[in-house]
Amino acid sequence: MATNPQQWIQPMKKVQLSMIDLQAGANLLTFHLEAAEMKDGDDAIYATIHAIRRAGMKVGIAIKPPTPVEKLLKFATQIDQALIMSVEPGFGGMTQ
């Protein structure tokens, strides 16, 4: 889970590599609601959604297992994909 999702928007957007006629980058960027929410609540979430759209990508929001789905529903008309994590984010094989 990235703690500052907006910093990844520009590096992930799709670009045309004209020298070899190849496109690289992402069509869709999914960020964790909880990470964006830590900054400025809903304002940060809406700002992240709009920044991803301005970069030409589709938007996804992920939520961690304990987060109520109702928090995600208020953004449902603004996003293209919702991801409900089945485990807490972290490195594979980690134990707490």
pLDDT tens-digit series, residues 80-94: 999 999 888 776 665
pLDDT tens-digit series, residues 8-64: 677 666 665 555 555 667 788 899 999 888 777 889 999 999 999 998 889 999 999
Report the first-to-last Cα separation within the chain, whole angstroms.
16
CA distances (Å), origin 71, targets 12, 63, 84: 26, 9, 12
The helix/strand/coil state of 84 is strand
Q: Domain-by-domain residue ranges, the chain?
A: 25-84
pTM of the predicted model, to two decimals? Answer: 0.74
* Cα separation, 64 vs 66, whole angstroms: 6
Q: Which helix (H) or strand (E) holds 54?
A: helix 42-54
